[in-house]
Each structure stands twice: as C-alpha cells, then as structure tokens.
Structure 1
Amino acid sequence: MLDREGASYILICCNTIHKIADAISKSLHNAELINIIDVVAEAIHPQNMTKVGLLGSIYTMEELFYKERLSSLHKVKTLIPNSEERKLIMHIIETELGKGEMDLQSRKSFLKIGGIDDLVQRGAEGVILGCTEIPLLISKKIRKFRSLIVLTYMQKAGVDLALR
C-alpha cells in the first residue's frame, strides 16, 4: 500500500520480519525496502569489526537470514548466545518487553546470563541489539561493550533518505 501511495523508501524496524525482506522487496514496484541488516552492516564497517554478537528474538538469532546476509554480503561473522540464554532472551521479550513491561529482576538476569559476556569472550567486537526493545534493558552506564542499537541506525537511515 505504501508503495502504491508514492513512498520512495520503506523502513521496517523489526529485525525478525526481515526474514522475508527479499519477498517484500520483490513485491514493491516503486519503493525500495531498506534492509535493516544492511543498515547494521554500514554501522559495523567504520568501527572495523569483523565479528559481532547478535541478540534478538529467537528467530533472529537462530534462523540464518541475518547471519548469512551479514556474512555473505558484508563479510561480518555473527555469534549468538547458547540455547539456554536464547530462550531466556526470548522469554523476556515475549512476557515483558513486548507488553511494555520491564522487571528489575529480568534486567539483572539479562545482564548476567543474557549472553553478552560469553559473546565478548568468544571474540565478539560488538553486540547487535537486534530487537528494538533490548536497549531498554541495558543502560549506557552499564554497557561494557560496543553496542549496536539497530533502531538508532534505522532512524538515521530514514532521516538521511528523507533529506536527500
């Protein structure tokens, strides 16, 4: 519909929906879909990172669409938390963040076993916060790693396109 109404670009700020980004792009006639993974890669390259951690929904972390695009098109290797940590992250996203809630204990759990320390120990030079709500759990004061906040990059991409 946006395409038919004259939009030049379409930005979808949900990482998981980019599983079908290619199909969405093919369905557009006039507008261009700005792929969230490409936008993240554009933020990674100037920081000279070649290996990053990925936190997000279980689908974003486990399915290949995100990791393969970063690897094949952008030469960036992606690491994900272990199975138990992925389940915890998804539980917090579904039961709290997705409902606009945030429990202090969940924040502590996320920070403690949310996979970040392990990802950094395994060589991640930065961590993609690949769910729009995850930055709510991790304040700037306690980030000990280079965080890549996807929503911030998409906002910037949208503004840059609008100002062209």
Structure 2
Amino acid sequence: MRTIGMLGGMSWESSAEYYRLINEGSRGRLGGHRTVPTVLFSVDFAEVAAMQEAGAWGQAGEFLADAARRVQQAGAELIVLCTNTMHQVADTIEKAVDVPFAHIVDATAQRIAAAGHRKVGLLGTRYTMELDFYRARMRDLHGIEVVVPAEPDRSLVHDVIYRELTRNRVEDGSRAQYVRVIRELADRGAEAVVLGCTEITLLIGPEDSPLPLFDSTRLHVEHVLDLALS
C-alpha cells in the first residue's frame, strides 16, 4: 500500500472532500478500519489565488513543486493535487518528484471514453475553462472534444465558485443558473458535462443535471486509490 501525498488548500473545502472520499473509498475497498496512509500539505489559498489572478503560472508551479518535494520527503509514494485548476502547472510538479503523479484529466477522460462520449462540456474556474491545459490533454491524449460556456456564462460559473462555493455558500439561484448553462452546452452538442472544479459538487448533482455528469474529483480519487492499492 502506497502512502498518498496530498497537495491541498486550494480550497480547504476541496481538500476536505478529497480526504473524505479517499478514506471512504479505502474503507469500502478494504473493509473494517483500513485506511490508506496519507501525508497532507495544505497551502495558503490566498497566495495561490493571487498568482492565478496575476497570471504568474511559473511562480505558482515552483511554489507547488516545492510543496510536492516536501510531501515526498515526508514519506509520500504518490502525489495527488487536490484541485483542477492548478493542473495548469502539473508538468512542473511532476518533474520535481520521483514518485508517480496522478493527473486528474487522465482519470476523468478514461471514464468518459469508457462511457462512449466524444464531446463533453466543461465547467470550472475561468482558468480551467479558458487555458488550454485541460482541453488540450483531453483532445491530444484521449480524443475527446471539450466545449466551454460562452461569455458571460464563463464569468458566472467562475464567480459562483470563488464568491460562494469556496466560502461554503450554496445558493439555490446559482444551482438554477448552472442547470441553464448545462442546457446550453447540450444545445451545442455536449453529450455529458465534466465538473472540473471540486467545489461544484457542493452545488450540483446528477439529479439536477439534464446531461450525465462526470465528477472529476471522485474519478480522480478512484484513480488515486487504484494506484495506492496496486
């Protein structure tokens, strides 16, 4: 059993969800009181958010690479980055460590492909929707086309995450707006939707959506558990 190294704090709500799902998953697979050994490094989200806003991705990459090295030194044998957006700097993190790095896009794309979907909508932060790291990896490595909301809906989706969900606010009006956005993605040919931000699962679930949902967080956790227990 490998020790899982969690890079978290982006936001802490996201990290708490990862920790819960990892432990529920390990108990479900192993039974009894069995859990996977875990090392958690939780960063100050305010620092990371400032780098995001400034477009300082190189700085952010080195910041998280340093955190990953510390996690490995603490005994981690597998690294999981507990956020979608910061996979923008996944290559920098991966190069900084000598242990496997579990990429969230690969975990999500494999399940989408297995379900037979070839065109999906993506909801997440502005950075996840607008930067190419998510869409390019889906397209180039997995043959899946990704569509994102048009403006002003990208701003709406982003603002709900940063102004509400990362502050533990869940609003019915925002849920209704997300459902509307999903319907518009369906009109543009999306066969399913990726929830590309951990906090979105606090707001919307399968019972709310007119399209099948792929929760990147849960799929990432399942992939991490596969690696940890293999």
Fold shared by both chains (TM-score > 0.5): yes
Pick the aligned partner of 1:125 from 191, 198, 202.
Answer: 191
Q: Which amino acid aligns with 2:79?
A: I
Q: Bigger shift: 14-23 or 151-160?
A: 151-160
1:134 aligned onto 2:203: no
Deviations 1:51-102 (A, max 9, x none): 1110000000000010011111111110000010000011111110010111
Q: 2:77 maps to which residue?
A: 8
> Is 1:99 matched with 2:167?
yes
Instruction: Work out whether residues 80 and 224 of structure 2, in 8 Å CA contact, stay in contact via their aligned partners in 1.
Output: yes
Aligned length: 161
Q: Which residue of 2 aligns with 1:74?
A: 142
Structure 1: stretches of 5+ with no match in the other structure? none
Task: Give distance in 2, aligned partners of 1:69 and 1:81.
Answer: 19
* One of 192, 200, 212 as aligned partner of 1:146: 212
Structure 1 residue 38: deviation in Å? 0.7
* Contact preservation (8 Å) 2:183, 2:210: no
Unaligned regions of 5+ residues in structure 2, if any? 1-69
User: Which structure has the greater CA radius of gyration?
Assistant: 2
Instruction: Tell me the CA shift for residue 155 of structure 1.
Output: 1.5
RMSD of equivalent CA atoms: 1.2
Match of 1:43 in 2: 111
1:13-28 equivalences under 5 Å are 13-28=82-97
Secondary structure of the structure 1 residue equivalent to 2:120? strand
Whether the 8 Å CA contact 2:121–2:148 is kept in 1: the answer is yes
Q: CA contact under 8 A between 2:179 and 2:210: conserved in structure 1?
A: no
Q: Percent identity?
A: 36
Shift of residue 130, structure 1, vs aligned partner:
0.4
Give the alignment partner of residue 60 of structure 1, picking from 128, 132, 155. Answer: 128
Q: Which runs of 4+ in 1 moved over 3 A?
A: none
Structure 2 distance, partners of 1:101, 1:15, is 20
Amino acid at match of 1:56: G
Tell me the CA shift for residue 42 of structure 1: 1.2
TM-score, length-scaled by structure 1? 0.93
Q: SS where residue 73 of structure 2 aligns?
A: coil
